[in-house]
Each structure stands twice: as structure tokens, then as C-alpha cells.
Amino acid sequence: MSDATASRVLNGVDAPVAAETRERVLRIAEEMGYAPNLAAKALATGRTKTVALWSVNLRAPHSSQVVYCTRDEIMKNDYDLTISDFKFRADGALDTSRLISWPVDGVIAVDLPRGPVPGLSNSLLGGKPLVSIGAYVLENVDHVHVDFAPMSAAAIRHLHSVGCRRIAYLVPNWFEWFRSCDDARLRGYETAMAQLGLETEFIVTEHEARPAVGPALKAHIAIHGAPDGLFCFNDNMTIAAARALREVGLTPGRDVKLVGCDGIDDSADFYPPLSTVVQPVEEMCALAWAFLARRIKDPEIPIQQMTLTAKLEIRESSTGY
């Protein structure tokens, strides 16, 4: 058995090696307590076998589902995952300098904000393959887009069908950005409200974290009274809204019917179980890895793009119980 054969086995090089020989190399390596030097392996192969996941909001429960599904997908292919959030420069552009310097073979960017991305060309960020995924993607790179518009509109029509005539949208105070990027949730809400002949109503929170929801919703109710239907930007905000409604003496699902977005695990376990517009996270992450793996193998392939549609899951929070 040659040194080259042993090296190919230990470095996972895709080359023909007899099964008996492979097993012998791995057995001897285990007996010797051999541990590969990852830095040296990267120099030898030109691959670190590591992918970076770049997320806009690591605090959100939805992000943990994306992290889990991405990690599960890449580990099936013998890759590791490193995680970071977005950083911005003083001029408002994304700060990609640190990410470009990372020793990774590719980047998966979740809900990438619109705007200039320094160092990005032909779905390569500083020479590293990049796939943009989520509800917000870059259109000129490899991406897997989740379109919320059809099911957001369906959520409003559903609320109307169960008797709601005053349907408000509970949303973070990012309206300028939502308008600039033609946000699908907002577009679906406004389109359906117009088709139903209903007046739009916005309950705007300082940000999307739960502590911001209660004060904004209670203040709105104190001035305008409670709407009978509430469409929420995400499930996390829906959970906080349900608590705030109870604190002012209203019953979620009866007095005010609720629909959220994302389909996080908590939405089914909450009481009442939350109706929600579900993101196809597993399918999105599987496609993201497939796109990334192809571009790692061949950086010159044509741009790869796929649009997935979210699904409306109707539960007791919008039907009464």
C-alpha cells in the first residue's frame, strides 16, 4: 500500500480505492490515534470542508430552524458549519470583509438585506460561492426564494371568511425598507384587503422581538379599540400578541383571531395553536446546499434559482375554540 493511497483515504479524496484497502488504512489510523491536521488538509486539497451560514437575525426562533436544517444537510455531505450575523459599514453597505477572509468553501446567506454587497460577482463573494435564501434574496445570484405573497393574501381571506371585518397587520417599524423591497407579506396583506374592500390598519412595533409587541398592541387598542383579526409579521410576534390580548381581557382566537408567519415549532404547541404561513425550511435548505455544492465544484455554471411558495396552516387561533 503506497503513501499516496493512504493519503487519499485519510483525506477523503474522491478516487478509486479498494474497500479492503480503505478499511485497512482506517483501522491502522485508529490504532495509531491518528487525527488529521485540518489546516494541512485544506492546503493539500484546496477545500476546508466548511460552509458559512450568514443570517440577518440569529435571535429569531425561525433562524434556529434554518441553522438546524442547514447543518443537517451539509453534515450528510461531510461538511462543517460556521455561523455569523450580518455586519454593516458606515455607508450602509454590508461589511463582507471578514466573511471573505474566512477559510470556508462557500456561503449560505439567509434573508440577505437588499443593497450593495461588496465583492459579489456571478454568485461568488470574494471568489467563494454564495447562495441567497429566504423571503429576501438577491436576484442576480444563486438563490432559493420563499414567496409569502400568495399565502399572506390567503391568510387575510381566511380571516375574512371566519367573520373578521377589521383585520390589522402587526409589523415591525421597517416600512421604508419593506416598501423599497416590495415585501411579500405586506403586498399580500394590502392586495387581499383591497380585493375584499377593507381598510388597511397597521400596528407598528419598535422591532420584532417579543418585548416590543405588548406595549404597541395595548397602546393601539387603548386608542382605537381591538381589531377582530390580526395578521402578524412572524410567529414570535403572534405569541407576544396573544399574551397582550389576554392582559387586556380579550381571548385570542375568539375576540381577536390571529394568523402569524414562519411556522416555528412553538406555533403548534402554543395555546391556542397558531394559524401560520409556514416556510418550507427543509426544502429550502436542501436546495441551498445542492446549489452551493454545484458551484463549489464548478464556479462557472449558470445562475441557479428556485422560488418556493409558503403554506397556510389553519389552526384554532383563527377559527375559535
With H, G, I as helix, E, B as strand and everything else as coil, classify residue 130.
strand
State the Cα–Cα distance between residues 89 and 78, nearest whole angstrom: 34
Stretch (H or E) spanning 24 = helix 19-31
In this prediction, residues 79-105 reach a mean pLDDT of: 78
* Furthest-apart CA atoms within the chain: distance in Å: 82
Mean pLDDT computed over every residue of the chain: 87
Q: Which residues contact 207 (CB under 8 A, 6 or more apart)?
A: 172, 173
Lowest mean pLDDT among 76-85, 113-122, 269-278: 113-122
Alpha carbon of residue 214 to chain centroid: 25
Q: Which residues contact 161 (CB under 8 A, 6 or more apart)?
A: none
* pLDDT reported for residue 4: 57
Domains of the chain: 3-36 (no CATH), 50-147+280-309 (3.40.50.2300), 149-279+312-318 (3.40.50.2300)
Is the confidence at residue 41, as pLDDT, over 50?
A: no
pLDDT in tens, 25-35: 566 656 565 55
In this prediction, residues 66-77 reach a mean pLDDT of: 92
Lowest mean pLDDT among 36-40, 97-101, 170-174: 36-40
Backbone angles phi, psi at 11, to 5 degrees: -95, 0
Render 59-124 in DSSP notation, one character per residue.
Answer: TSHHHHHHHHHHHHHHHTTT-EEEEEE--B-TTSSB--HHHHHS--SEEEEESPPSS--TTEETTE
In this prediction, residues 107-126 reach a mean pLDDT of: 84
Pairing of strands 275-278, 257-262: parallel
pLDDT in tens, 117-176: 878 888 998 899 999 999 999 888 999 999 999 999 999 999 999 999 999 999 999 888
Higher-confidence residue of 88 and 133: namely 133
Q: Binning pLDDT at 50, 70 and 90, where does residue 10 land? A: low
* pLDDT reported for residue 159: 98
pTM of the model: 0.83
Is the confidence at residue 109, as pLDDT, over 60?
A: yes
Q: How many residues does the structure list for the chain? A: 321
* pLDDT reported for residue 43: 39
pLDDT in tens, 197-211: 999 999 999 988 899
Burial of 294 (0-12, 13-18, 19+ CB in 10 A): middle
Q: Which residues contact 82 (CB under 8 A, 6 or more apart)?
A: 50, 51, 52, 53, 102, 104
Residue percentage of the chain with pLDDT more than 90: 64
Written as nine digits, the cell of 53 is: 451560514
Cis peptide before 227, with omega less than 30 degrees from 0? no
Stretch (H or E) spanning 312 = strand 311-313
Q: Binning pLDDT at 50, 70 and 90, where does residue 9 land? A: low
Q: Binning pLDDT at 50, 70 and 90, where does residue 79 land? A: very high
Neighbours of 215 (CB within 10 A): 12
| Alpha carbon separation from 14 to 7, 29, 49, 73 (Å, rounded) | 11, 19, 13, 20
| Alpha carbon separation from 2 to 9, 21, 140 (Å, rounded) | 11, 10, 47
pLDDT in tens, 211-267: 999 999 999 999 999 999 999 999 999 999 999 999 999 999 999 999 999 999 999
